[in-house]
Structure 1
Amino acid sequence: MFTDEALDSVSVRSLWRKSQQSEQESRDCQTRAVHSAEAGIQTVFTTLSCTQTEPQDQATEQLLKQNHNEPEPLGLKDFLQRVEEAVIRELVRNARSHAFDGFQVNWGDRSQLVSCLHCLQHPISQERGLHVTSVSWSCTGSVIACAYGRIDDGNWSTERSYVCMWNLDRRGLSPSQADLVIDVPTAVTALCCHPSQPALIAGGLYSGEVVVWDTSRTQDPVLALTGMSADSHREPVYQVAWLPLQKKGEFGVLSASSGGRVLVWMVDSDQGRFILNAAYALVQQQVSHSSSVSLKARGSSTVGITSLALSPWDSDTFLVGSEGGLLLRCSFSSKVPAAAPSEGQSVTLRAPAVFSFRPHSGPIHSIHCSPFHRNLFVSAGTDGLAHLHSLLQANPLLSLRVSDSYVFQVQWSPTRPLVFAAATGQGEVQIFDLGHRSLRPAATIEQRGAGQAASCLSFNCQNPHLLAVGNTDGTVGVWQLSADLTEQSPRESSQLEQIAHQVAE
């Protein structure tokens, strides 16, 4: 049914291949690089505007349009005319009033008036129960020197004591370890740093000796010592001061004791000794008859000196307070001679008293002259009062009750003409501002130890914000005063002038 059959092949040529082989060409195309960048910007426009109109008051409009010939309605003008005379009278009265003299409005917060910076102490002195009897700032204002002794022992004493110094500007300050300690064979009763040489300190001793220490000498700081001689003091020295001599730049040492003598010494640093230059004695014949009654209790013709102050205005004037309450103005009669007496020549005692003020009712512990007025000084003692005096009047201009106990020292502020401070036996330091109408203290420094007295104080003249206070517990407090107590007000000097011109009752 099926048979093989052979057929011729049929071929079909590819038209696609033929078309591809017929013509071949190569072509290409390229464009330049496309550069792109991005940028942004934003602007904000804000405007705010508003307007408001008020309807015009009809009464005001009518008043403006009113005929000036017509009488004005009753109102403000009539009221001012009625009260004008009374207001002018009160304004004139206020212009003449001194009720607010010295008052300054303080729009800021009132700062703390006093704050304690340091409490310095010498442990050995505290263990022995010694008191701080005197403090003094160096001429640079960075070093405080304090003397140790006793203020409650009236008997002869040979107990050893110390003079300690602290440098408050030193980075490693140790309040319980003094930078320098000087051993003294007897109690130190007075101390005064040199006004221009930081290394020199003058001191008065309970034994009656006067000494000058040179703190730059590490081995033996004693530069000069009076010793016990016929010309030296025989009783405790209660005041020492550096006295400028006629030769510019040189100073002598002024000392006063309870023996009634004031001595002027020249320091011979080469020989290590004092040379007596002048001597003054206060005796009964120099004191007015009304004041001599206070000498009967002493049983002697001498006046025991317990305080002394040099006038910063007159080199010939100094003030003396006695243990009997006498307050005397004295004169050197002439400037201290520049040359010392020859060897072995005795010095004649001079009579310095020239004026007697009304006496205190007890010993005068402190006198200080005002650095802002040549005639004013303040004194204080066992009566607990601070008396403001004028050199031109016998009676005090003002008496302030400072304490119910003793007042051991009083001192004017070096920057505020109306401010002074007083150290009391109750342990407080009262700071008074005479510009206040009230006689109460402007500030009070209260000590930590109960029953301890504030025995001495000293303002820092180089840094008036600092006040040093010595206590009977053996500590020295360094207090910082606020600007209220140190910055002078515009009318303060004129107020002090008014006080000085008052007539004492």
Structure 2
Amino acid sequence: MEIVYVYTKLRRDLGRPCSFSDRCEQIDVDIHPDPELSKQLIHKTHRDQALQTGPEMSEHQVNTGGFEVKSCGMNHVEGGWPKDIDPEKVEQTIRFRKKVEKDEGYANSIRQLSSVMEHCMRQNNAIDIYQEYLEDEEEVVENQELPYAKTINVFRDPNEVKRTVTSLSWHPEGERKLAAAYSCLEFQKWSKDMSLDSYIWDVVKPNCPEMSLKPTSPIICLEYNPKDSHFLVGGCYNGQIVYWDTRRGSQPVECSSLECGHRDPVYKVIWLQSKTGTDAFSASTGGQVLWWDVRKLSEPTERLVLDLSREGNIDRAVGAVSLEFETTMPTKFMVGTEQGMVVSCNRKAKTPAEKIVCTYDAHHGPIYALQRNPFFPKNFLTIGDWTARIWSEEIKESSIMSTKYQMSYLMDACWSPVRPSVFFTAKMDGVLDVWDILFKQNEPKLSIKVCDKALYSVRVQDNGRLLGCGSQQGDTTLLEISSGLSTLQKNEKSLMAGMFERETKREKILEARQREMRLKERCRSEQSKAEETGREEGEEDPEQLIARAESDFYTMVEMEFKRREERKEKLQLPYLFLVSDGQSFEMDCFQPVGAQLHA
């Protein structure tokens, strides 16, 4: 099959035409032969032959069509649930399953599907689909690259008077947008020239923010709604809760009232899992945790006073700085306080006193970050003073793991959403530490000097590759983490489960030992206190008691000797016999005669 293709082009596109004319011959250069060059001549044999192209060996010619590649994806979502059933709530799904199983159509559907399932099972039994055909080939060992983090972009506060980036929140549907809250947390450092706006940044366009959020008071915390990415909720410096819909512009849709809200700045707000997707709860240093429905922020739907005496007295409440809520535990939440304690609470308790379950004495100062491990929810991370600590819910007296005391104060931390052993900490000296507790527990695996100012916030994107750090100067630095720190390693989950279990058992043994030592010390102190009380009531010293016992003993011995001598003398004296009226009487010489006669 011969393929011919004719290329055509207009004459005017070929340029100016050539003009030829006749003329006489002319010698331009005359080069005479050089006899010396003849000595360098190499005679070519008939066996040497030069080829410019190889010979054609194919017997047939085939003209194949172009292959078009198309990328497409599939979003697999658990479906089939009615609108009034929330698939993430286990109680509702179990109740719905039991209802469906009692239906007659369910049994008929199972009978029809059983034949198809049986056919597939027989195919699997006939063909080993898991057979390994390349067992003999050696596994290619990948080169372990050194951990790194490179700066991609820096988002700077566009205002002249710079403010602190107090909170960061990634867009739930991708890695293109990052919401940042700006506020000044230094006491009496706020000026009239400072802006109240916070911004939503586009990762690709760092020069100017994509959208401005204009609250009535500076925003301290800001969170995207995980169900609807158009909704944001924020906590303000004056205690208000503000709610935005990005489709409606920069102005807030709803604001809470000052009378029914928090009395102090709101340091943390978290969205709750609900049917409507509009429920959230917040905490502030005023000592209250409030639940809200953002569609109606006039008053909170529920209120909890953090009074550790469980009396609900707002005057004795402890201030809240951080919050933690895990969707797999819808009734439990944790609060980090200014006094360094973690308060574990149960929202579904019947009375306010029962809502505060227990406390953990965690740090010497405020707990600025509190987060459960995304793979092991029973273990949580706390940041306060100069250390980071990992706790287990089963151990309340001490942490199962902790870092050594750092030279700078720690301000924020978060777990990696991809690797269960990796977490990030931000410090006051502008250094970001990346910890891998499977690799090393005493030192961070990677330390990065992000900026010269203090880092106040850090947040990791859901894929684990991008990380945002907010500084005191108003700069948000976007970092890309190496693949070794953002890719799940082999057997990492099982190794972390074993490590957490081992450390929990060790702390239990140490806790039991400490409890036993405290009990012995208490008994010893009670005994010494009883002795001191006895001495105060008039008892003598042990030496005096011994001396008095010796003197009493010798006195009794002397009295006994005297008694025996007197008795011996009685036995040696004669008796007198008297006869009166035909009767005889025996008289003892040591007794009075009148007394014996009377007897």
Taking structure 2 as the reference length, what is the TM-score of the superposition? 0.58
Alignment of 1:65-464 (within 5 A): 107-108=142-143, 110=145, 113-124=148-159, 127-141=160-174, 142-153=176-187, 160-168=195-203, 173=205, 175-218=206-249, 221-229=251-259, 231-245=260-274, 248-268=275-295, 273-286=297-310, 300-333=315-348, 352-381=355-384, 383-394=385-396, 395-401=398-404, 403-448=406-451, 450=452, 452-461=453-462, 463-464=463-464
- Deviation at residue 221 of structure 1 after TM alignment: 3.1
Q: Is the partner of 2:494 in helix, strand or coil?
A: helix
Partner letter of residue 278 of structure 2?
F
Change (3 A) 1:332 1:357: same
- Give, in whole Å, the separation in 2 of the partners of 1:161 and 1:388: 36
Gaps of 5+ in 2: 1-48, 56-138, 511-599
Partner letter of residue 148 of structure 1?
Y
Change (3 A) 1:267 1:121: same
- Give, in whole Å, the separation in 1 of the partners of 2:328 and 2:446: 29
Q: Is the partner of 1:244 in helix, strand or coil?
A: coil
- Deviation at residue 215 of structure 1 after TM alignment: 1.2
Maintained 8 Å contact 1:162/1:183: yes
- Deviation at residue 402 of structure 1 after TM alignment: 6.2
Identity rate, percent: 26
- Deviation at residue 358 of structure 1 after TM alignment: 2.4
Maintained 8 Å contact 2:184/2:190: no
Gaps of 5+ in 1: 1-39, 45-103, 288-294, 336-347
- Deviation at residue 329 of structure 1 after TM alignment: 1.1
Change (3 A) 1:202 1:227: same
Q: Is the partner of 1:484 in helix, strand or coil?
A: helix
Q: Is the partner of 2:300 in helix, strand or coil?
A: strand
- Give, in whole Å, the separation in 1 of the partners of 2:140 and 2:467: 26
Partner letter of residue 372 of structure 1?
F
- Give, in whole Å, the separation in 1 of the partners of 2:143 and 2:236: 49
C-alpha distance after superposition, 1:440-491 (max 9, x if no partner): 111122123x2x1110011101x32100110111110110011110111122
Higher strand share: 1
Change (3 A) 1:460 1:41: closer
Alignment of 1:471-482 (within 5 A): 471-482=471-482
Change (3 A) 1:275 1:267: farther
Change (3 A) 1:359 1:155: farther
- Give, in whole Å, the separation in 2 of the partners of 1:238 and 1:352: 21
- Give, in whole Å, the separation in 1 of the partners of 2:207 and 2:256: 32
- Choose between structure 1 and 2 for higher RCO, CA contacts under 8 A separated by at least 6 residues: 1
Maintained 8 Å contact 1:412/1:421: yes
Over the aligned positions, Cα root-mean-square deviation in angstroms equals: 2.9
Change (3 A) 1:356 1:438: closer
- Give, in whole Å, the separation in 2 of the partners of 1:154 and 1:41: 89
- Give, in whole Å, the separation in 2 of the partners of 1:428 and 1:414: 21
Maintained 8 Å contact 2:214/2:251: no
